């Protein structure tokens, strides 16, 4: 039991250092008592317990609202999103995507549908600042984000999703949002694809319907020249509540070797991602390559990643050594542009 206590304290200490917004979720008192009676406490965490924690989706009130965030969306102890006053920050592998609702009312989110868990914050060594039994929720709502329109965040099949609830006689054409720190935003089919560095999130599966009438409304995303996103709707009965219903999906791709790797530029063309940069890794991943052997103090790399982020189309190094002195030099790729898949235009700084 003493070893178990040390392990828990160490976990709490690490969590507090990494992110003061994260707490420890646990079941309510009735569920705790049931679990205590059902099984004997063990000194070591089992793999099944870790799997359960990592798949547990919940909205928790944040430890402090000093930074403007009122709720955190967690997957176990992993941070998926933060919710502030009429703004949301989504995370893909720790990389933030800032979502702002343009022209909206300034609305503080509220929790709805309390879950069977709560969050404890044991942060710092001043026990008077600890917070316990902070309720968790299954969804959160921005009431009247736009006049007559609510925004609700919830979970569906393991994904974070959101609904705009357009109440009778409200005007959905005023809905307008933007990912303010994205490198690229585009429409791909019925999806909005948002890219920052080598990470991507999608607004996908957009539908609109009226429950009372059991009908589906034609709808699509629209982007203007300033990356402001709106929703175009077909004809519907404005006297009946309308639900606009997309889902977030995200993928992130790890790219690199065992030493330092820096991506300086990214190009997206037809859903493919092209990355150029500089690597110090002798084992930088290469595939279908022009040059597979690391030759410099650093080499330039060019990598093409498939549309779904799950495979590499090609990845090559570019660099070498001084032919006269045989000294290795620093070779860097700073910029990349693509036209119809090929040719690929590069701005390189080579000393070979």
| Full pLDDT tens readout for the chain, 352 residues | 333 333 333 333 333 333 333 333 444 444 444 443 444 334 333 434 334 444 467 888 888 888 889 999 877 657 889 999 999 999 887 788 999 999 999 999 999 998 888 788 888 778 788 888 888 898 999 999 999 999 999 887 777 889 999 999 999 999 999 999 998 898 887 788 888 877 788 888 788 998 888 888 898 899 998 899 999 999 999 999 999 987 665 555 556 677 777 777 777 777 677 888 888 777 777 778 788 677 767 788 888 887 666 678 888 887 776 555 555 567 777 778 887 666 566 666 655 4
Q: CA angle 84-134-94, nearest 5°?
A: 45
* 3 state DSSP class of 54: helix
Nearest to 60 by CA among 145, 127, 121: 121
Residue with tokens 């080579």: 350
This prediction has a pTM of 0.61
Give, as one character, the DSSP assignment of residue 328: B
> What is the distance between the alpha carbons of residues 111 and 150, in angstroms, rounded to a whole number?
13
In order, the DSSP letters of 106-152 are ----EEEEEEEEEEEE--SS-GGG-EEEEEEEEEEEEEEEETTEEEE
């Amino acid at each position: 039991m003493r070893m178990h206590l040390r392990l828990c304290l160490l976990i709490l200490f690490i969590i507090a250092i990494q992110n003061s917004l994260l707490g420890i979720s646990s079941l309510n008192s009735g569920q705790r008592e049931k679990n205590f009676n059902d099984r004997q406490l063990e000194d070591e965490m089992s793999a099944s317990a870790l799997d359960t924690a990592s798949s547990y989706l919940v909205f928790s009130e944040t430890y402090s609202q000093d930074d403007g965030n009122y709720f955190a969306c967690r997957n176990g102890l992993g941070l998926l999103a933060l919710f502030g006053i009429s703004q949301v920050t989504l995370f893909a592998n720790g990389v933030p995507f800032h979502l702002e609702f343009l022209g909206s009312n300034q609305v503080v989110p509220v929790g709805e549908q309390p879950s069977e868990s709560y969050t404890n914050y044991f942060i710092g060594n001043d026990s008077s600042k600890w917070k316990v039994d902070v309720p968790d929720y299954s969804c959160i709502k921005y009431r009247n984000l736009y006049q007559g329109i609510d925004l609700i965040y919830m979970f569906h099949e393991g994904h974070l999703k959101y609904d705009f609830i357009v109440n009778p006689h409200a005007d959905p054409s005023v809905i307008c949002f933007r990912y303010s720190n994205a490198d690229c935003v585009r429409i791909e089919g019925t999806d909005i694809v948002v890219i920052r560095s080598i990470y991507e999130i999608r607004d996908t599966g957009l539908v609109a319907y009226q429950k009372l009438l059991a009908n589906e409304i034609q709808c699509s995303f629209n982007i203007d020249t300033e990356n402001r996103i709106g929703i175009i709707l077909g004809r519907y009965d404005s006297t009946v509540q309308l639900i606009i219903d997309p889902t977030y999906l995200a993928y992130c791709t790890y790219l690199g070797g065992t030493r330092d790797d820096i991506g300086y530029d990214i190009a997206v063309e037809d859903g493919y991602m092209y990355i150029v940069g500089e690597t110090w890794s002798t084992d930088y991943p290469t595939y279908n390559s022009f040059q597979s052997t690391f030759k410099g103090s650093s080499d330039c790399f060019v990598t093409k990643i498939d549309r779904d982020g799950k495979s590499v189309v090609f990845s090559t190094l570019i660099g070498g050594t001084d032919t006269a002195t045989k000294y290795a030099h620093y070779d860097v790729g700073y910029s990349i542009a693509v036209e119809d898949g090929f040719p690929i235009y590069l701005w390189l700084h080579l000393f070979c």
